[in-house]
Homo-oligomer: A and B are copies of this chain.
Amino acid sequence: MSSSEGPRRPVGINDVAARAGVSPGTVSNVLNRPERVAESTRRRVERAVQELDYVRNSSGRSLRSGRSDSVGLLVLDVTNPFFAEVARGVEDTAGEEGLAVVLLNSAEQAARQRRSIRLLAEQRAAGAVIMPVDGDTTDLLWLRKQGVPGVLLDRGDVSAETACSVSVDNHAGGMAAGRHLINLGHERITYLSGPAELEQCRTRLEGLRAAVAESGGDPDRAVRVIRTAQLNAESGEKAVEEVLAGGPRRRPQAVFCTNDQLAVGVLKGLGERGLSAPGDLSVVGYDDVNLAALVHPGLTTVAQPKYELGRAAMELLLSELNDQEHHHERLRFAPELVVRGSTAAYRP
Contacts of A60 in B (CB 8 A): 59, 63
**Quick one: which of A74-114 are within 8 Å of B by CB?**
78-79, 81, 84-85, 87-88, 91, 100-105
Interface flag for A296 (CB, 8 Å): yes
Interface flag for A10 (CB, 8 Å): yes
**Quick one: which of A256-302 are within 8 Å of B by CB?**
264-265, 267-268, 271, 290-291, 293-296
Interface flag for A58 (CB, 8 Å): yes
Contacts of A268 in B (CB 8 A): 293-294
Interface flag for A7 (CB, 8 Å): yes
A-B pairs with the 7 shortest C-beta distances?
A103-B103, A296-B296, A59-B63, A79-B84, A59-B62, A58-B122, A55-B121
Interface flag for A123 (CB, 8 Å): yes
Classify chain A's interface size: 35 or more
Most B C-beta atoms less than 10 A away, residue of A56, A57, A70, A146: A57
The residue that A102 contacts in the complex, of B87, B100, B146, with Cβ under 8 A, is B100
Most B C-beta atoms less than 10 A away, residue of A59, A70, A78, A103: A59
With A118-B55, A294-B295: A91-B66 Cβ-Cβ less than 8 Å: no
Interface flag for A190 (CB, 8 Å): no
CA A231 to CA B17, docked complex, whole Å? 47
A347 to chain B, nearest CB (A): 22
B81 touches A88 (CB 8 A): no
CA A87 to CA B78, docked complex, whole Å? 8
Interface flag for A337 (CB, 8 Å): no
CA A232 to CA B294, docked complex, whole Å? 12
The residue that A85 contacts in the complex, of B10, B57, B79, B147, with Cβ under 8 A, is B79
Q: Given contacts A70-B102, A233-B290, could you give 14 more A-B pairs where the C-beta distance is less than 8 Å?
A: A55-B121, A57-B63, A59-B60, A63-B63, A78-B84, A79-B81, A79-B88, A81-B84, A100-B102, A100-B119, A101-B104, A232-B290, A295-B295, A295-B296
Interface flag for A68 (CB, 8 Å): yes
Interface flag for A124 (CB, 8 Å): yes
B58 touches A123 (CB 8 A): yes
CA A236 to CA B59, docked complex, whole Å? 45
CA A259 to CA B58, docked complex, whole Å? 38
Contacts of A267 in B (CB 8 A): 294
A95 to chain B, nearest CB (A): 8
Cβ-closest chain B residue relative to A237: B294
What are 15 A-B interface contacts by the 8 Å CB criterion?
A: A10-B147, A55-B146, A57-B63, A58-B124, A59-B124, A60-B63, A78-B84, A78-B88, A79-B81, A84-B84, A100-B123, A103-B103, A232-B290, A233-B290, A233-B294
With A63-B60, A147-B7, A294-B268: A105-B122 Cβ-Cβ less than 8 Å: no
CA A81 to CA B294, docked complex, whole Å? 15
A246 to chain B, nearest CB (A): 26
Contacts of A78 in B (CB 8 A): 84, 87-88, 91
A291 to chain B, nearest CB (A): 6
Interface string of A216-236 (1 = CB under 8 A from B): 000000000000000011000
